[in-house]
């Protein structure tokens, strides 16, 4: 069983600031770090560090070779990655608040917006029914890519961030087997505010889809066989929260694919994201499964 991670790769420009900039305000950054990120790349690294065999598909520009090198050094297969000679790589401008580690992110799509139907067909033909396909909403034609993977019998895993009106009206949820959403996204999809109501509404509308609802510092919750299952967050002093959600979804997916129960996968994914926020950077901060086990067991 193989895992296809079809997603964004971004050069992350991470600025540490005394506080997140307010409208009309100019402040000096305390520090700038240029890191490898993008929700797709982060998920690939998390999947790999949790022990999965991962193929990353996506597009970078010639300015983004450090993104490919990062994936290669993590042990992610990059044979399906494309390098566009003209367009610049995607990038993100990230503000990180000193003290809390909270962030604000602007994403510029760059080459992530060049994913077209021909490339999707070329990628999907390398995978078989029963393989996993992991997506987020930072590449073009993501709805079509998920539809192709679903039609081929792959298990489709989706984090619909950043949410858009186009995605909300796309009907893409029909193709999703595992969906990672937060409360805001849950409200956008279902019109419900309460976590339990969001999960019940998702189950009623999309019975085949397993929804994992993340609740920030309150952890996460799932609805399985009519029972609500809650996972607490492992509290810590956060240095940089960038990529914590990608770590969580990557670990949960890799561990589920490896045969762990959903309760074990939730618990270990929660521990992994707690370790990730203690270090600077998105992908660089993601721990290995062994580091997670060593930290607690």
Which of residues 98 and 109 has its CB atom nearest to ligand RIB in the complex?
Answer: 109
- Find out whether the peptide bond into 262 is cis, omega within 30 degrees of 0: no
Q: Give the shortest CB-282-to-ligand RIB separation in angstroms.
A: 4
Which of residues 60 and 223 has its CB atom nearest to ligand RIB in the complex?
Answer: 60
**Scanning residues 53 to 72, which ones bind ligand RIB (CB under 6 A)?**
none
3-state DSSP: the chain helix, strand, coil percent, rounded to 5? 40, 25, 35
**Scanning residues 205 to 244, which ones bind ligand RIB (CB under 6 A)?**
242-243
Which of residues 178 and 246 has its CB atom nearest to ligand RIB in the complex?
Answer: 246
Any contact of residue 246 with ligand RIB (CB under 6 A)? yes
CA distances from 295 to 127, 130, 234, 290 (A): 35, 33, 12, 9
Strands in the chain per DSSP E: 3-6, 10-17, 31-37, 54-57, 59-61, 82-84, 90-97, 103-108, 132-136, 155-159, 178-182, 210-214, 220-224, 227-231
What would the two tokens of residue 23 be? 């409208």
Q: Give the shortest CB-55-to-ligand RIB separation in angstroms.
A: 20
Any contact of residue 92 with ligand RIB (CB under 6 A)? yes
Q: Give the shortest CB-43-to-ligand RIB separation in angstroms.
A: 9
d(CA 10, CA 237): 26
**Scanning residues 120 to 139, which ones bind ligand RIB (CB under 6 A)?**
138
Dihedral sign (CA 171, 173, 176, 177): negative
Any contact of residue 44 with ligand RIB (CB under 6 A)? no
Stretch that binds ligand RIB, among 35-43, 69-77, 176-184, 230-238 (CB under 6 A): 35-43
Any contact of residue 7 with ligand RIB (CB under 6 A)? no
Q: Give the shortest CB-138-to-ligand RIB separation in angstroms.
A: 6
Q: What are phi and psi of 220, to 5 degrees?
A: -155, 165
Any contact of residue 10 with ligand RIB (CB under 6 A)? yes
Residues with Cβ within 8 Å of residue 86, at least 6 apart in sequence:
61
Residues in touch with ligand RIB (CB under 6 A): 8, 10, 12, 37-39, 42, 92, 105, 107, 138, 242-243, 245-246, 282
């Amino acid at each position: 069983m193989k895992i296809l991670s079809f997603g964004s790769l971004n050069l992350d420009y991470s600025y540490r600031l005394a506080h997140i900039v307010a409208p009309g305000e100019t402040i000096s950054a305390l520090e700038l770090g240029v890191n490898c990120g993008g929700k797709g790349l982060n998920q690939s690294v998390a999947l790999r560090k949790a022990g999965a065999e991962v193929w990353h598909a996506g597009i970078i520009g010639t300015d983004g070779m450090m993104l490919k090198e990062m994936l290669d050094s993590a042990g992610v297969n990059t044979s399906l990655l494309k390098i566009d000679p003209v367009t610049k790589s995607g990038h993100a401008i990230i503000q990180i608040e000193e003290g809390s580690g909270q962030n604000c992110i602007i994403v510029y799509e760059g080459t992530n917006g060049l994913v077209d139907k021909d490339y999707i067909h070329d990628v999907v033909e390398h995978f078989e029914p029963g393989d996993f396909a992991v997506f987020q909403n930072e590449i073009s034609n993501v709805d079509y890519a998920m539809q192709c993977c679903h039609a081929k019998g792959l298990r489709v895993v989706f984090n619909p961030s950043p949410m858009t009106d186009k995605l909300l009206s796309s009907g893409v949820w029909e193709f999703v087997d595992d969906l990672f959403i937060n409360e805001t996204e849950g409200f956008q999809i279902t019109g419900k505010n309460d976590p339990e109501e969001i999960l019940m509404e998702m189950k009623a509308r999309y019975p085949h889809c397993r929804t994992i609802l993340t609740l920030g510092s309150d952890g996460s919750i799932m609805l399985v066989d009519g029972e609500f299952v809650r996972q607490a967050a492992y509290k810590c002093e956060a240095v940089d929260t960038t990529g914590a959600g990608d770590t969580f979804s990557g670990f949960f997916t890799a561990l589920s694919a490896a045969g762990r129960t959903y309760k074990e996968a939730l618990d270990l994914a929660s521990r992994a994201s707690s370790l990730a926020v203690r270090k600077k950077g998105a992908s660089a901060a993601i721990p290995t499964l062994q580091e997670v086990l060593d930290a607690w067991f």
